[in-house]
Amino acid sequence: MKKRVFICEQNQNSPSKEKWCENVNPLLLQDNPYNGTVATKDVLKKIELEKFPLVEDIRLVVKNTDILGERLYYQSDEHGIIATFPWWDNIREYIKKEKIQNPLYGSLEIPFEDIEQSWNVIIFLKGDFVYFLEGNDEEYKEYYLYYKVPKDKYDKEWNNFLKLVWNG
Name the pTM for this structure.
0.85
* Residues 39, 42, 47, 48, Cα dihedral to 10°: 160
* Residues 38, 43, 46, 47, Cα dihedral to 10°: 160
- Measured distance CA(27)–CA(46) in Å, rounded: 12
In a structure prediction context, what are the per-residue pLDDT tens digits for the chain, which is 168 residues long?
Answer: 455 566 766 655 554 556 667 778 888 877 766 655 445 667 788 888 998 999 999 999 998 877 778 889 899 988 888 888 877 888 889 899 999 999 999 998 888 888 877 788 899 999 999 999 988 877 777 888 899 999 999 999 999 999 999 987
| Domain hosting residue 145, numbered range | 6-167
In whole angstroms, how far apart are CA 150 and each of 71, 107, 156? 23, 15, 10
Q: Is residue 1 part of a domain?
A: no
Q: Is residue 142 part of a domain?
A: yes
- Count of domains observed in the chain: 1
- Measured distance CA(164)–CA(60) in Å, rounded: 12
**In contact, 45 and 126? CB cutoff 8 Å:** no
